[in-house]
Homo-oligomer: A and B are copies of this chain.
Amino acid sequence: MSLPHAILTSLAEKPGSGAELAQRFDKSIGYFWQATHQQIYRELARLEERGLIRSAAREATRGRKRDYAVLPAGLEELARWTVLAQDPLPVRDALLVRLRAVAVMRAGSAPGDTARAVMRAELARHRGLHEQQLSLYQGVEGDDFTAGSGAQAQNTPDLRLQRAVLRAGIMFEQAWVNWADETLPTLEH
């Protein structure tokens, strides 16, 4: 159950509205935990009801911007959550399932040969997407974590830890690209 805590973290870094949070979930923290705006609005309402965050406006405001900030109770909840032992989520990649499905289709049969050709293209396409993400991360690393970086969020979070998170993204994307390069020849001929 990380979504409420991802939101609390993002609001602790900087207060903002639901739409602004949705934007942050399209980059930054959203690289490691995704959420749609529907999830975010629902979760914001829950968090406010639990007294972990507060919004400036009191009544329901449809269409009007509504800013939230973390309350002390929210920071306590975040501290409580971070120290819980949590096991890693296993890998879940549909492309690997597909590859395994293709493995049971006989090469030489029409569907098997078609599937192999398509998978080769898909693998190349995914390689491109992962390489793009890798470049993006490397760009962020260069911009945000060079010595004496400029504008910081109000709470001046620990840059070394934020960078470590980014490094995880870099290393995973790099691993994916490497795997694709190793695997593509298997689908040739």
Contacts and interface: CB of A to CB of B under 8 A. Distances in A.
B83 A115 contact: yes
Contacts of A130: 88
Q: Is the interface of A mostly helix, strand, loop or mixed?
A: helix
B101 A78 contact: yes
A100 B175 contact: no
Interface of A: 2, 5-6, 8-9, 12-13, 29-34, 75-76, 78-79, 81-83, 85-105, 107, 111, 114-115, 118-119, 122, 125-126, 129-130, 155, 157-162, 164-165, 167-169, 171-172, 174-176, 178-179, 182-183, 186-187
B9 A158 contact: no
Given A104-B12, A171-B178, A6 B97 contact: yes
Contacts of A79: 105, 111, 114-115
